[in-house]
Structure 1
Amino acid sequence: MSQDPPRRKRLPFRWLSLAEFVGILALVIAGLGYWDAHRERAQTDQQRATAARERKEEARAGALKLAFLMTGTPDGDGGRLRLASAHPEQVIQTQSLSFPREVRGEAVQTTGNPRIEAGWFDAALARAAHSGRAHTGGDEARQGRLPVGIVTVYIQDGQTRTDRAVYLLGYSLHPRVLRADRVELEGLSLVRRAGGEDVQAAVDGLWTRQAAPAP
């Protein structure tokens, strides 16, 4: 005669008391509150970090926008290059322009009339060009770039400021019968800021590197 398998005992069941239910509910509410507060704090931190990055980028963009930058516009037949700041609110007062010593031995000082004149160095530049130091070969044999260091004192927002930089002066040489080549000034491009270094030494160094033969 087979015996019935023993029945599994059921765990005792009881209803939660009101105090226990309220306690569990309080824990759930506290957990949800903590999670919500953590999420809100994380969102606030992220918003603050984003705002800080945006302010930093705006400040950097503003600084770049107002950084002093020279532009050069040929005047007439290119015998003179009119210089101006890229930002009209920056008013140029004085300038000191340094050229390679082989081209001009002393700096040129200007006041209230920012410019570069070919007559300051045209004969020496033409000689340097014919010696192979100031221009490239091939089809561009009559064109070149002359380093020039420019120290500019200017007014911005009522304050006097100074900019020190090295530029490249673009030019072309036009042969003339029984006379030195005519130098035509074409434009100006920034090489780098000179900071506190010797501008003349920076210009001479760039001039020497330009003349060095390719390896």
Structure 2
Amino acid sequence: MSENPRPRRRLPIRWLSLAELVGIAALVIAGLGWWDNHREREQQDRERIAAARSQSVQARREALRSTFLLVGNLGDDAERIRLSSAHPDQVIQTQTLVFPAAVRGDPVETTGNPRIDRRWLEDGLKKADRDRKPDAGGERRVPVGIVTSYVEAGEMKTDRSLYAVAYTLQSRLLRGSTVKLEGVSLLRRGVSGDLKAAVESAWRR
């Protein structure tokens, strides 16, 4: 006969004391509090980052609004390009226009009538064109440095930038060629130092 198996011993059950239950509850509460504080800090960090980004975007927008940029409107007769600020709250007072020496030796100054006239450039451009290759055609560009004094929010400011005047040379029967202005575009903003040297460097390129 086989021996009867011994009955398994039951592990003793130990009930937690009240102090231990209170300690565990305190740990759970502390853990929940830490997690809640951690989530709150993360939320605050996200809000600070979002606010900083919003301020940065707003600052860039304000900077763009206050940036001075000339735009040109070509008249129907193509005799001149009327210049104005891209921002209507910037009022142009005076301008000094500097051209390459090969085109025009002396600068041109305007007061209250910002523009680029064809007659300022025509003789110099036609003379400079004689040194070009015979097959050089189509639209061409001549750099011009423009120093603009303007008023914005009651304050007088100055801009020194490099622009390109686009033009074409049109042949006329028995009367040589004539310059036709096409428009103006920005080459470089905020030119420091010798503006004339910057114009000559752009012309050589």
Q: Give TM-score scaled by structure 2 length.
A: 0.92
In 2, Cα distance between equivalents of 1:120 and 1:106: 10
Task: Tell me, yes or no, if the aligned pair for 1:74 and 1:80 is still in contact at 8 Å.
Answer: yes
Unaligned runs of 5+ residues in structure 2 are: none
Amino acid at match of 2:144: V
Partner of 1:213: none
User: CA shift at 1:65, angstroms?
Assistant: 2.7
User: CA shift at 1:120, angstroms?
Assistant: 0.9
In 1, Cα distance between equivalents of 2:80 and 2:46: 55
Partner of 1:156: 152
Partner of 2:202: 206
Once the two structures are superposed, residues 100-138 of structure 1 have per-residue CA deviations (whole angstroms, 9 ceiling, x without a partner) of 1100111111111100111112011012123217x973x
Task: Tell me, yes or no, if the aligned pair for 1:81 and 1:115 is still in contact at 8 Å.
Answer: yes
Amino acid at match of 1:101: A
Q: Give TM-score scaled by structure 1 length.
A: 0.88
Task: Tell me, yes or no, if the aligned pair for 2:162 and 2:191 is still in contact at 8 Å.
Answer: no
Amino acid at match of 2:69: L
SS at match of 2:32: helix
Partner of 1:187: 183
SS at match of 1:12: coil
In 1, Cα distance between equivalents of 2:176 and 2:4: 127
Amino acid at match of 1:22: V
Q: RMSD of aligned C-alpha atoms?
A: 1.9
Partner of 2:129: 129
Partner of 1:212: none
What are the residue-to-residue correspondences of 1:57-72 with 2, within 5 Å? 57-72=57-72
**Does residue 1:101 correspond to 2:101, yes or no?**
yes
User: CA shift at 1:194, angstroms?
Assistant: 3.7
Amino acid at match of 1:171: Y
Count of aligned residue pairs for this structure pair: 205
For residue 139 of structure 2, the aligned residue among 138, 143, 146 is 143
Task: Tell me, yes or no, if the aligned pair for 1:79 and 1:183 is still in contact at 8 Å.
Answer: no
